């Protein structure tokens, strides 16, 4: 396929941004697919900080890491990504969010606009120049469109001198397909919250 699917493209961007020894963040661990992907990229000297508010997701992520003998490369936290600065005070190379609900779980536990934006803002401060934040935006569920619109409003207003903001989206797919937003920090700055 010439044009990468959204999830493939997210992985391509993460691969480009992350080197061995880097600190990375999976902001919505869920079943742990992205945590495992990042754990493979950071090597034995790097770390993935994985966040999720559901015990089920934390357990699933830990199991996935253990099954792949990579648990030493990740810190899996049962806490909201909006609290990222409580845990990380080093520069981050990459972060990924999958907005929405955990597939196969309670569809009412979803990411929310305020906390998502708070986490993006904190991560932009922690991000190193050349680092990337990738958001895969699922918006078909209840509340999904509000979150999508608020996130788009927030990222569209980031200053282009400091952050490059990309939207990657298939335009002819039915049933609210996910799309991707990528934020690349191109110059050091500090955003006041």
Ligand X SMILES: C[S@@+](CC[C@H](N)C(=O)[O-])C[C@H]1O[C@@H](n2cnc3c(N)ncnc32)[C@H](O)[C@@H]1O
What is the contact surface with ligand X in residues (CB under 6 A)? 28, 30-34, 51-54, 57, 80-82, 98, 100-102, 109, 111, 115, 138
Q: How many residues does the chain have?
A: 193
CA angle 82/63/89 to nearest 5° reads 30
Contact (CB, 8 A) for 176 and 139 = yes
* Shortest Å distance, C-beta 159 to ligand X: 26
Cα–Cα separations (whole angstroms), residue 39 to 3, 50, 60, 174? 26, 10, 15, 33
Q: Which is nearer to ligand X, 45 or 108 (CB)?
A: 108
* Shortest Å distance, C-beta 120 to ligand X: 12
Contact (CB, 8 A) for 42 and 22 = yes
Q: Which is nearer to ligand X, 33 or 164 (CB)?
A: 33
Q: Which is nearer to ligand X, 103 or 159 (CB)?
A: 103
Q: Which is nearer to ligand X, 31 or 122 (CB)?
A: 31
* Shortest Å distance, C-beta 95 to ligand X: 12
* Shortest Å distance, C-beta 23 to ligand X: 17
């Amino acid at each position: 396929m010439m044009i990468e699917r959204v999830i493939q493209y997210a992985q391509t961007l993460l691969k480009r941004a992350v080197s061995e020894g880097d600190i990375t963040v999976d902001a919505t661990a869920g079943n742990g697919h992205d945590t495992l992907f990042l754990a493979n990229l950071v090597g034995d000297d790097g770390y993935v900080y994985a966040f999720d508010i559901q015990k089920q997701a934390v357990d699933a992520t830990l199991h996935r890491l253990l099954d792949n003998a990579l648990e030493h490369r990740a810190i899996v936290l049962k806490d909201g990504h909006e609290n990222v600065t409580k845990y990380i005070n080093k520069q981050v190379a990459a972060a990924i969010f999958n907005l929405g609900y955990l597939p196969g779980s309670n569809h009412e536990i979803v990411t929310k606009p305020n906390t998502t934006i708070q986490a993006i803002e904190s991560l932009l401060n922690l991000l190193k120049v050349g680092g990337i934040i990738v958001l895969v935006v699922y918006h078909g569920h209840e509340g999904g469109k509000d979150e999508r619109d608020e996130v788009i409003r927030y990222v569209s207003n980031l200053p282009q001198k400091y952050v490059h903001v990309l939207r990657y989206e298939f335009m002819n797919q039915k049933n609210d397909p996910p799309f991707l937003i990528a934020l690349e920090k191109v110059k050091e700055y500090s955003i006041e919250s």
